[in-house]
Structure 1
Amino acid sequence: MLILGAGPAGLVLANILQAAGVESMVLERRSREQVQHRARAGFLAPDSVAILREHGLAAGLDAHGHTHDRCEFRTPAGSIDLRYSELGSGRVHTVYPQQDLVTDLIEEYLRRGGTLRFDTTVERIDDIHTDRPTVVARDETGRELRFAARYLAGCDGARGVARTAVPARTASRDHGITWLALLAQAPPAGDSVIYGVHDAGFAGHMPRTAEVTRYYLQCDPATDPEHFSEQQIWAELRRRLAAPGSPALVTGPIIERTLVRLRSQILDTLQAGRLFLVGDAATSISPSAAKGANLAIFGAQLLAGGLVDAMRNADETALQQYSAEYRPRIERAQEFSRWMIDLLHPPVGDERERAYRSERQQARLRDLALSRAHQDVFADNYVGI
């Protein structure tokens, strides 16, 4: 079994297969250091945590993760504080930085006897409709490598080679929104995720650890991440995250800056021959609702079950249903992500369109503030899917 990509999707898949006695190899274009220090999302849904525990992959998050059950929507007019452990089905997130999870998964995979090749760039995938698909890659020295396997899993992201090898029809949307993603060496300003809904643009506050906080600032797509001084960044965060009576942000050095363009894509199929797409390779989703890593973990377990049946029992029934089983989960996550985008960002369009969208946005905020039914639906979608 060949797996392209050492993110959460590829590593969860590789670990499950290895534990089931199915040998695999993971090819990753970046170095091990880059993979293990690349800061990404950290909010794991209950289903994701359950999958990791079921397969013996949760020791790190059980030891160092913490539960999270609050989110707050702030506007200049006031705030809406939702403790979602008391709403809907009462489920909560577990906060565990994705780079820590990836480090755990790498170490466990190698302990289980797996083979992981870093600094290996896949250039081409051939023969996916045969019983021996092949991958052409190059190592860090430029030497050409060829690998063959019974099945391939494309876990190499939205711009990876695997997606281009699957002739899928793509439904896509560029939301026209860019975030400046910031990592600050500063304690969170409380135990809540904070969404700032402001005419100047969205701002977000995401607790990570006791010393590190993730922030987001909506910005112009042409923004140079280094253009703003730290003083300007903190001033804008304070402005957009302010609400009557809200505590002040705790400032500190900005240790990471990147731009995130909000785009979404849904493919009509996630498999072609013996190549299967998982995680970001299977769908591009905006980070507005923290669904990406959770979709990846779910898809990895789903595909693993089909592969084990195929390799152990020569039964491809589950494997051939992979797309049909995975896509509804993706579609639901995309729908909620889009709902969050509309809720969080200033309306766009001509004057009449902006006025109409603004009325809808205010109605949604009122529903979240006043309607228990709407709060329950929000909580179940926020933590679930």
Structure 2
Amino acid sequence: MFPSSNDLTSTVLILGAGPAGLVLANILQAAGVESIVLERRSRVQVQRRARAGFLAPDSVAILRAHGLAAGLDARGHTHDRCEFRSPTGCVALHYSELGSGRVHTVYPQQALVTDLIEEYLRRGGTLRFSTTVERIHGIHTDRPTVAARDQTGRKLRFTGRYLAGCDGARGVARTAVPARSAAYDHGITWLALLAQAPPTGDSIIYGVHEAGFAGHMPRTADVTRYYLQCDPATDPDQWSEQRIWTELNRRLSASGTPALVTGPIIERSLVRLRSQILDTLQAGRLFLVGDAATSISPSAAKGANLAIAGAQLLAEGLIDAVRNADETALQQYSAHHRPRIRRAQEFSHWMIDLLHPPACDEPERTYRRELQQARLHNLASSRAHQDMFADSYVGI
């Protein structure tokens, strides 16, 4: 039950119930640090939102260390293979046999979020769904506040000692931090698709094709995520299922590879590839985590993993501040997390250049196409390149 007053108080106010906010909330709750999580969407919407599903070993280790991995240990599965297909052939890499030999764990993000919600509530946490944060006040005071409204329009006021902004790239928290931004629009749009169809084999498949990128990402035994590079002005609903499967098969084929296993398209949306790095992730007592801390393209599956790593790092600082009245680690949060963000961004950008053809009107198109072929050749023929790729691909 919630207090009847419209003014609620907690030690930490967490804006956003995605992986970042929920991992942070669970770690704090287990350590005896009280928190309230505010989420603008309903619980049903949050738990049905299909997002990334590839967890790095470091992310899995964090979840296990904090008792948050029961679901992924029971229903997730390891993954260690990816293919780069192009008209010139297929490059297959078993990255468990390369570099440090680490692998991904595939576990749909909506399943992980459901687990995290249930565990946080079981631990006695307070989670307010359908609560829209409108303003943040007093981040440079010892009692910052959040003004919000519930689904009925009723005004609410929350007060805490610290604020964690986990509400995404367009959330209120990011606008409250006066950070300088290094941003880049890659000029690339994907048609993101979820198919009620088994994966075609157990591999991630990247289609490197002159018509545009295509991607095949196994999720479960009967659901597969696909991506198709498309015109930015595309209306997703105007693509028929026949057109989608025809184009996917064209871009994801190589000599000797089987046709894709087809099925109904159950979800479609557009993803614009944009990247952003902030020069600070904190201001006063407000700290940014997850997508609020950095915008990164999904080309290398780094977003959720950065969110989990950042949540643990911030949790450690907050616990030390609350338990020991020592804010040293907390004040170093941004300095410690930003190098990890930069590394992830650099590899993501490398993947974007590898996977996408140069724009038709680009003057250096022919030259960049040659570089793209050189990268594929290096992955096919050089163990040093393969080891470097494997460690960057699976690491954060």
| Common fold by TM > 0.5 | yes
Cα pair distance change 1:174/1:351, threshold 3 Å: closer
> Equivalents in 1 of 2:298, 2:392: separation in Å?
14
Aligned to 2:204: 193
Which of 7, 29, 49 is 2:18 aligned to?
Answer: 7
Aligned to 1:182: 193
Is 1:228 the counterpart of 2:222? The answer is: no
Deviations 1:335-366 (A, max 9, x none): 00000000000013656400111111111000
2:190 partner SS: strand
> Equivalents in 2 of 1:323, 1:351: separation in Å?
37
Deviation at 1:35, TM superposition (A): 0.1
> Equivalents in 1 of 2:22, 2:138: separation in Å?
24
Aligned to 2:270: 259
Aligned to 2:47: 36
> Equivalents in 1 of 2:39, 2:99: separation in Å?
40
Which of 343, 348, 354 is 2:354 aligned to?
Answer: 343
Q: Which amino acid aligns with 1:372?
A: R
1:150 partner SS: strand
Is 1:122 the counterpart of 2:133? The answer is: yes
Is 1:45 the counterpart of 2:23? The answer is: no
Aligned to 1:276: 287
Aligned ranges 1:13-92 → 2 under 5 Å: 13-92=24-103
> Equivalents in 1 of 2:26, 2:47: separation in Å?
17
Deviation at 1:77, TM superposition (A): 1.3
> Equivalents in 1 of 2:360, 2:108: separation in Å?
37
Deviations 1:170-224 (A, max 9, x none): 0000100000000000000000000000000000000000000000000001100
> Equivalents in 1 of 2:119, 2:29: separation in Å?
10
Which of 163, 171, 183 is 2:182 aligned to?
Answer: 171
> Equivalents in 2 of 1:127, 1:138: separation in Å?
18
Deviations 1:56-104 (A, max 9, x none): 0000000000000000000011100000000000000000000000000
Q: CA RMSD in A?
A: 0.6
Aligned ranges 1:133-152 → 2 under 5 Å: 133-152=144-163
Aligned ranges 1:152-167 → 2 under 5 Å: 152-167=163-178
Which of 372, 376, 387 is 1:365 aligned to?
Answer: 376
TM-score, normalisation: structure 2:
0.97
1:157 partner SS: coil
Q: Which amino acid aligns with 2:192?
A: A
Q: Which amino acid aligns with 1:291?
A: K
Deviations 1:218-244 (A, max 9, x none): 000110010111000000000000100
2:84 partner SS: strand
Aligned to 2:6: none
Unaligned runs of 5+ in 1: none
Q: Which amino acid aligns with 1:204?
A: G
Aligned to 1:100: 111
> Equivalents in 2 of 1:45, 1:137: separation in Å?
35
Which of 320, 330, 337 is 1:309 aligned to?
Answer: 320
Deviation at 1:330, TM superposition (A): 0.2
Aligned to 2:221: 210
> Equivalents in 1 of 2:184, 2:360: separation in Å?
16
> Equivalents in 2 of 1:7, 1:96: separation in Å?
15
1:315 partner SS: coil
Q: Which amino acid aligns with 1:160?
A: G
Deviation at 1:247, TM superposition (A): 1.2
1:226 partner SS: helix
Q: Which amino acid aligns with 2:83?
A: E
2:194 partner SS: strand
Aligned to 2:5: none
> Equivalents in 2 of 1:348, 1:33: separation in Å?
40
1:29 partner SS: coil
> Equivalents in 2 of 1:248, 1:267: separation in Å?
43
Aligned to 2:3: none
Unaligned runs of 5+ in 2: 1-11
Aligned to 2:387: 376
Over the matched positions of the two proteins, sequence identity in percent amounts to: 85
Q: Which amino acid aligns with 1:163?
A: R
2:238 partner SS: coil
Aligned to 2:9: none
Aligned to 2:248: 237
